[in-house]
Amino acid sequence: MTAQLINGKEISQQRLAKVAQAVEKRAADGLHTPCLAVILVGNDPASAVYVRNKKLACEKSGIKSLSYELPASTSQEELLGLVVELNENSKVDGILVQLPLPPHIDSQAILEHILPHKDVDGFHPYNVGRLAVKMPLMRPCTPKGVMTLLEAYGVDPKGKKAVIVGASNIVGRPQALELLLARATVTVCHSATQNLSEEVGAADILVVGVGIPNFVKGEWIKPGAVVIDVGINRLENGSLCGDVEFDAAKERAAMITPVPGGVGPMTIATLLENTLHAAELHD
């Protein structure tokens, strides 16, 4: 058995086309064009690529994009000042601070200063808390994108055993909440988890996001499982790979996301969906 590839690039293009249609309809109805402000601090190459891709997606979808590229020496106070300025700007619907930030800046403090209804990344504790109590406002982009992929491929998590490897605030924890809302039985694995291979082997739906190349071995995968690989790692030869041993895993899984072209495009599509939602909240 060779797994069906879950084409995140294709699904993301479909979602972006719907965003573009909604933006066009807003213009026809005399409503303002959604506006996303993106802040990049420093010159991390991967972050620069992500920011450029977000700008391109905004252009294709008709969303206005504001870019703030700050030097790595920017102080926390200066960055907070910019966030406050954008909070107060009625023409800005969404604010995104590209992570990671330089080590001298407290990322959590910055994220908590973004107004929850402008927090299009969905990282503010208010938004994570609303997700936990089944009242989502802004849903974290990558976990929501994963749920969109599952729905697009007819995978219903209800009653399934879902295992998440990685417990970060960006992916693992909110992904657990998303799957709980979908009525899956959820296990979250982390650095203190014992018998990881057994936990992975029990998963009907496996989501992996640890940032370690080929960390989850293909032989661990339950035959017929759905595998969502959130990781994206650049190897010494310049090629990209995920956190799951892809070649071996695809011979056991029923469906699997490739890297690249799986979850990554969905994160950007969801960001723009959130920006549109933020604009609707501001109307």
In the annotated binding site for NADP(+), the residues are: 166-168, 232
Look at strands 240-241 and 233-234 and give their pairing: antiparallel
Whether residue 158 lies in the annotated active site: no
Whether residue 29 lies in the annotated active site: no
Of 64, 118, 119, 121, catalytic: 121
- Cα angle value 121/172/42 (rounded, 5°): 45
105 in helix, strand or coil?
coil
Of 93, 98, 222, 250, catalytic: 98
User: Are 271 and 54 contacting, i.e. CB atoms less than 8 angstroms apart?
Assistant: yes
- Provide CB contacts within 8 A for 213, sequence distance 6+: 231, 233, 235, 241, 242, 243
205 in helix, strand or coil?
strand
Binding residues, as ranges, are 166-168, 232
Beta-bridged to residue 38, according to DSSP, are 67, 96
Whether residue 54 lies in the annotated active site: yes
Of 54, 64, 144, 222, catalytic: 54
Counting Cβ atoms within 10 Å, is residue 238 exposed (0-12), middle (13-18) or buried (19+)? exposed
Q: Active-site residue numbers? A: 54, 98, 121
